[in-house]
Amino acid sequence: MKLIRYGEPGRERPGLVDADGALRDLSAHVEDLSGAALDPAALARLGTLDATSLPLVEGTPRLGPCVAGTGKFVCIGLNFSDHAAEAGAAVPSEPIVFMKANSAIVGPNDDLRIPRGAEKVDWEVELGVVIGRTAKYVDKADALDYVAGYCVAHDVSERAFQIERQGQWTKGKSCDTFGPVGPWLVTTDEVGDPGDLGMWLKVNGETMQKGSSKTMVFGVAELISYLSQFMSLHPGDIISTGTPPGVGMGMKPPRYLKAGDVVELGIDGLGAQRQAVKADL
């Protein structure tokens, strides 16, 4: 299934995309795409519904983040071997883990706001993994059983905040609007192998990133198992698994986003995002 949340910020309703690409309302069957509704068994029950019997949503409403109730937005750095090479960094021996504030989460087509004082706002298309049930001390062999589904995640980064200021990466990753997720939460049965998905990103129509999750250093199952040794993962938590090469920081000379730019990005089978870049209010 391709599950969505639509409507104004803070008032989104759950829905799904039917076989013809039409938007259907799911609110008679689930309150929101959060908590227990994300359990793989609960999602399987939703999958038995006749999509054509669900109310049709008219028009083209705003799409919200494809999952609600995210407690943790966990990101993995330098997790693509070819991206590590462009950054001039060694391939890590263990996952590099940092957190992105969940207040950064927005819908897939919401405006991307350049924060005050920003100098180096960069793009990163990433595979998002949405946890469906609580995972603690999980074995790698069982890790994918804890996944609700997958989505496109845009790990927007302010490199000066991230690298040139004191402290850790979090403040360069957590500005408002720096975490678009969606358009869809695609259930695991429809995705297949998360380690074999094409990924792309364009700025003003020019392709900047074109890669594949094949080059991830640590795959989805390994990441879930690894993280669950240090923290419980809860339904709605998002793991952003790293980016392929082609980020602005790696260009010669570096290139960064500015007001007026348009960013488009997507992953095979998971849909696409589009953000207009604007100065913060």
DSSP state letters, 96-124: EEEEE-GGGEE-TTSPEEEPTT---EE--
Distance CA 110, CA 196 (A): 28
What is the model's pTM?
0.96
Question: How far, in Å, CA of 210 to CA of 255, rounded?
Answer: 17
Residue length, the chain? 281
Q: Per-residue confidence at 255, pLDDT binned at 50, 70, 90?
A: very high
User: Mean pLDDT throughout 100-107?
Assistant: 98
Higher pLDDT, 209 or 86: 209
pLDDT tens, 200-214? 999 999 999 999 999
Q: Where are the domains of the chain?
A: 65-279
- Residue pair 54/26 in contact (Cβ under 8 Å)? The answer is yes
Q: Provide the pLDDT for residue 73.
A: 98
Average pLDDT over residues 108-118: 97
Beta bridge partners of 276: 262
Residue 40 has pLDDT above 80, yes or no: yes
Taking phi first (over 0 means left), then psi (-120 to 50 degrees means alpha), and beta for anything else, what does residue 247 get?
beta
Phi, psi of 211, rounded to the nearest 5 degrees: -155, -165
pLDDT digits (tens, 9 = 90+) for 134-184: 999 999 999 999 999 999 999 999 999 998 887 788 999 999 999 999 999
Is the per-residue pLDDT at 229 higher than 90?
yes
Phi-psi region of 248 (alpha: psi -120 to 50; beta: other; left: phi over 0): alpha
What pLDDT is stored for residue 134 in this prediction?
98
Lowest mean pLDDT among 30-34, 163-167, 218-222, 247-251: 163-167
pLDDT confidence of 191, banded at 50, 70, 90?
very high
Predicted confidence (pLDDT) at residue 65 exceeds the cutoff of 80: yes
Answer yes or no: is pLDDT of 84 > 80.
Answer: no
User: Could you give the CA distance from residue 52 to residue 59 in angstroms, rounded to a whole number?
Assistant: 17
- The answer, yes or no, to whether residue 81 has pLDDT greater than 90, is no
Can you tell me the distance from the alpha carbon of 20 to that of 2, in angstroms, rounded to the nearest whole number?
A: 12
Six token digits for residue 274? 């589009």
- Supply the pLDDT for residue 88: 72
- Evaluate whether the domain defined by 65-279 bears CATH number 3.90.850.10: yes
